[in-house]
Amino acid sequence: MGTQKRRKIYIFDTTLRDGEQSPGASLTPEEKLKIAKQLEKLNVDVIEAGFPASSAGELEAVRMIARGVRQPVICGLARMIPKDIDTCRKALENAARKRLHVFLATSPIHRQYKLKKSKKEILKVVAEGIRSARKDFRQIEYSPEDAMRTEPEFLAEVVRAAIDSGATSINIPDTVGYTVPQEFSDLIRYLIRKNPDLGDKVVLSVHCHNDLGLATANSLAAVLAGANQVECTINGIGERAGNASLEEIVMAIDTRQDFIDCYTDIRLIEIMKTSRLVSHLTGMVVQPNKAIVGRNAFSHESGIHQDGILKKRQTYEIIDPKKIGLAGTQLILGKLSGRHAFNARVRKLGFHLNKEKLEQAFIRFKELADKKKYVFDEDIEAILEDQLAAVPEIWKLVSLKVQIESGQAARAQVRLSFQDKIQETDSQGDGPVDACYKAIEKIVKSGATLSHYSIQSVTSGKDALGEVVVKLEVRGKEITGHGTSTDIVEASVKAYLFAINKISAQILPIEARPSPV
């Protein structure tokens, strides 16, 4: 390592904007706020909270985040048009620290087919747009969309115009995930040569998509070439194949300090929790072999590897899983644990529940401890997440009976309560879950169709809690529901009812947004 000071890399999280553009990842404003609060605990530098001009719901969500999350800079995205910029101003008026993020494409294909603008016109719109935004924003970030497929000389010219007009950050997006590491680092070096303020007085940011599976590699190549901000998302969610994943970038910088010589201010211990929360609320299950946060990322199957790990962990593990908050491998509470121990653990896990919710969570913990030999932190987190979900139990599950006989259709008998009145019915189905869902529909008559169903275990072992995520489509909207139980049919019913209760209480995802890019 040289004698130079290590460079700080700013982490700009766009889970709530580009990440939420993932097909099927629709969130309600309350869910967005919950993720933003967790991102604050993770200590990201900037939260891109949304694209306020895209819908009234999105404007409201960004407003809520600007009011409720005080530490990171809160950023809103806008096209380079006065209406969008003004909506961003309104959305961010209560933010402690705010940033406007404007974008306008620069590549030949976008200029010719999408914008129908000449190079000269692009330069004019960028300069005027940024200049006019300066009266309302001290921090302005400009993104030349599809930068990677833009002529480098023209890109440098637009970047110069943006800086001269008052942009404080320049973000270079690889919008379609087209570049490769060497090419990207060459471009970053070229831009710094042309505009030496980049990476110094002006933040030089990169934003990589993962269409070729290179988003993390490209972002790191840019960091090595002088970029000092990375835009990324939790679990790498985002348009198409997603964005660069926050946890991969941050852990690569941390693990390879010897080579990268930079640091971030991310609280590594919060990584797992943030990943689980985003997966839980978006309903986007993390692939088991996903780097850092996948279920298998720290599992060792081969005998040789297991033997090596037992002798010295570092033989086959480059990261200590405890570092990212994966402490759940240890037994923490059992059925003899009392309220005091439970409450202490809840606090340690970073949850703050009111008395009533805490009591309900304790009862669920006791029920679980009766069924399950070992109760892990992950189990408790799953219970607490359920408890904290601000969805009123309009429809409540009273009892459930399923009958399966080989060669015959499954039968389910479901009893639900609605305003203290019990309603009961039965139904046949293609398996027990289908039979339950048909029976529930006969009672609640939501008209929803099931568009997604997934199940995974919260921890390992045959008595593990199963977590089910469903998405129900109703009147063009997709509503996510989740449920946990050691019984997977019950977890499935809970998930379905969770979504039905959201529909009944009108807790709906933000209107389908026109995608900005």
d(CA 409, CA 462): 26
Name the closest residue to Zn ion (Cβ): 18
* Segment contacting ligand KIV by CB under 6 A, of 168-176, 300-308, 357-365, 496-504: 168-176
Looking only at residues 432 through 491 of this chain, which bind ligand KIV when binding is defined by CB under 6 A?
A: none
Token pair, residue 39, equals 């991102």
Close Cβ partners of 219 (under 8 Å, ≥ 6 residues apart): 206, 208, 227, 230, 232, 244, 249
**Minimum CB–partner distance for residue 243 and Zn ion (Å):** 6
Beta strands 449-457; 421-429: pairing state: unpaired
**Minimum CB–partner distance for residue 361 and ligand KIV (Å):** 38
Angle subtended at Cα 215 by Cα 212 and Cα 217, rounded to the nearest 5 degrees: 105
Token pair, residue 118, equals 């000449």
**Minimum CB–partner distance for residue 21 and Zn ion (Å):** 8
Task: Return the beta strands (E) in 127-219 as ranges.
Answer: 140-145, 169-174, 203-208
Among 175, 179, 459, 480, binds ligand KIV (CB under 6 A): 175
**339-348 and 377-388 helices, crossing angle to 10°:** 80
* Segment contacting ligand KIV by CB under 6 A, of 36-44, 79-87, 171-179, 342-350: 171-179
Summary count for the chain: helices (H), strands (E): 17, 16
Based on CB atoms, which residue is closest to Zn ion, 29 or 177?
Answer: 177
**Minimum CB–partner distance for residue 284 and ligand KIV (Å):** 18
DSSP 8-state secondary structure symbol assigned to residue 228: -
DSSP 8-state secondary structure symbol assigned to residue 515: P
Looking only at residues 103 through 162 of this chain, which bind ligand KIV when binding is defined by CB under 6 A?
A: 103, 143, 145
* Binding map of ligand KIV across residues 248-287, x = CB under 6 A, - = no contact: ----------------------------------------
Token pair 């000389």 in the structure block, residue: 153
Among 173, 199, 325, 509, binds ligand KIV (CB under 6 A): 173
Interaction between residue 58 and Zn ion (CB under 5 A): no
Angle subtended at Cα 176 by Cα 172 and Cα 177, rounded to the nearest 5 degrees: 80
Q: Taking a C-beta distance cutoff of 8 angstroms, is the pair 324, 247 a contact?
A: yes
Among 207, 364, 372, 494, binds ligand KIV (CB under 6 A): 207
Based on CB atoms, which residue is closest to ligand KIV, 238 or 432?
Answer: 238
**Minimum CB–partner distance for residue 228 and Zn ion (Å):** 19
Interaction between residue 20 and ligand KIV (CB under 6 A): no
How many CB atoms within 10 Å of residue 363? 11
Q: Which residues of 330-360 are buried (b: 16+ CB within 10 A; e: fewer)?
A: eebbeeebeeeebeebbeebebebeeeebee
d(CA 494, CA 382): 13
**Minimum CB–partner distance for residue 409 and ligand KIV (Å):** 48
* Binding map of Zn ion across residues 9-38, x = CB under 5 A, - = no contact: ---------x--------------------
Per partner kind, with CB cut-offs from 5 to 8 A, the member of Zn ion, ligand KIV, none near residue 143 is ligand KIV
Based on CB atoms, which residue is closest to ligand KIV, 150 or 275?
Answer: 150
Give the closest residue to 326 by CA, choosing from 299, 346, 307.
Answer: 299
Interaction between residue 18 and ligand KIV (CB under 6 A): yes
**Minimum CB–partner distance for residue 210 and Zn ion (Å):** 10
Helix (H, G, I), strand (E, B) or coil at 351: coil
Which residues make up the interface to Zn ion (CB under 5 A)? 18
Q: Which residues bind ligand KIV (CB under 6 A)?
A: 18, 103, 143, 145, 171, 173, 175, 207, 209, 516-517
